[in-house]
Structure 1
C-alpha cells in the first residue's frame, strides 16, 4: 500500500538514529523527497517502510516553546530544533522546567542585560516571564529568604559556551538586588566585593587555562564561588575555591 504526504508538510525524518526536522518538497510517482532544516536532501520510495521513517511534527515543535518540558515530541531532535529556532530569533535562553539552557550568541543583543531588564525580572517568579539568566539569579536570591536556606546555581557547558560570562551576569544581578534601599557607603562596599570576585578570576585562570578550538582561554578546572549575605539581604563577603578536573 502506498502513502501520500502533502507537499510542504513538516515532519520528523528518522535517519541514522536521528530525528531530522524536514519538509516534504514533493510527493508523487511513487517517490517522496524531503529537505531537512539543515539543507540535507533525502529521496525515498513511497511504501510502508517509508511511513515508519516519517513522523508527524507536533504544533509545539513547529511554533517553538519557551519551556521544553511542554514539548510533545520527546526526542533529542525536538530539543535541538526548538533551541535552534529560538536562537535564530535572538532568544538565546530556553527553559527545561527549572533548568535554563543558554546558547552563546557570539554577538551583542540590545537590551538583554541592561538595568531595565534587571528591574523587570525582579518583579516575577521563575517561569512567569521569558527565559533569562536574571530569572534564575532572582529565584536563587529570593529563595534565600523564602526558604531560609543556602542556595546554589550550577553552571555547566563545553569550552566557549559562556560559563564565565554567565557567572558574571549572576553576580551582577545579585549585587544590584542587594544594593536596593542602601546608603551610598554600603552600596560601595557591596560593589567592591563583587569587583574583587570578578577581578580574581583572571588571576586564577592564568594558572590553569589552555587553548582549545573553541576558546583561546579555556579553564581546565572548576570554580566554586561563595557569597555571604547578612540578614538584610546585603552581600557581606565571598570566596572562590578552585578544583582541578
Structure 2
C-alpha cells in the first residue's frame, strides 16, 4: 500500500475499457478518511475509494516536470512517454530525443 500526501504525483489507471487505455498523470489534492481526491492531467477530478487504491501508482520524479532526453525517464513506458510529450508540448518545447 502506498501512503500518499497532498501534492504527490501519481499514475491513475482508470481502466475505461477503451482501445487505448493508458494511465494518466494526476496530482493528489486531498487524502481524507481513506478517500483520495486527484486532479488528472486533463483537468478532471476523481475520488478514489480505498477499494480502488490499487489503480494509483506513485510517479517517478522525472515524469513530474518532464525531461529533454526521454531515455532518462524513470517511467519509461507508454504513459510516461505520452505525459512527457504533453508537458513539453504545453511548454512549447516540443522537440525531444531518445538516445543512449
TM-score interval for Structure 1 and Structure 2 normalised by the shorter chain: 0.7 to 0.9
**C-alpha RMSD of matched pairs (Å):** 2.0
What is the count of residue pairs matched by the alignment?
Answer: 95
Give the drift of 1:69.
Answer: 1.5
- Which residue in 1 is equivalent to 2:41? 37
More helix by share: 1
1:80 aligns with 2:79: no
- Which residue in 2 is equivalent to 1:46? 50
Higher alpha-carbon Rg: 1
C-alpha separation in 2, matches of 1:4 and 1:60: 20
Give TM-score, length-normalised by structure 1. 0.36
The answer (yes or no) to whether the contact 1:12–1:20 under 8 Å persists in 2 is yes
Give the drift of 1:30.
Answer: 2.4
Give the drift of 1:4.
Answer: 4.2
Structure 2 unaligned spans of 5+ = 16-20
Give the SS at the match of 2:96: strand
Instruction: Considering Cα pairs closer than 8 Å and 6+ residues apart, tell me whether 1 or 2 has the greater RCO.
Output: 2
Give the drift of 1:96.
Answer: 1.8
Give the drift of 1:46.
Answer: 2.0
Give deviations 1:69-111, integer Å, cap 9, x for gaps: 121102222111111111222212101228xxxxxxxxxxxxx
